[in-house]
Amino acid sequence: MTKTDWAALWLCAVIGSAGAQALPAALDEGGATAPAAAATWPGAPSAAQQRARWAALTPAQQADLRARYAAWKDLTATDRVVLRQARERLQGLPEDQQRALRTQFTALDRLHRDGWRLGSQLGNFYPQLQPLVGYVPVAQREQVLAVLRSLDAGQLAQLAVLAQRTPPQERDGLREALLAQPPATRGSWLSRQLAR
Task: Return the ∠ at Cα 13 (arms to 105 and 86), rounded to 5°.
Answer: 95
Mean predicted confidence (pLDDT) in 84-101: 92
Domain boundaries, the chain: 1-109, 119-196
pTM of the model: 0.69
Instruction: Report pLDDT digits (tens) over 4-48.
Output: 455 555 555 555 543 334 444 444 444 444 444 444 566 788 899
Contact 68, 117 (CB under 8 A): yes
* Mean pLDDT score of the chain: 82
Grade residue 163 by pLDDT with cuts at 50, 70 and 90: very high
pLDDT at residue 21, rounded to an integer? 40
Mean predicted confidence (pLDDT) in 168-178: 94
- The CB-side HSE value for 86 (13 A sphere, CA atoms) comes to 24
pLDDT at residue 18, rounded to an integer? 39
Contact 61, 16 (CB under 8 A): no
pLDDT at residue 26, rounded to an integer? 42
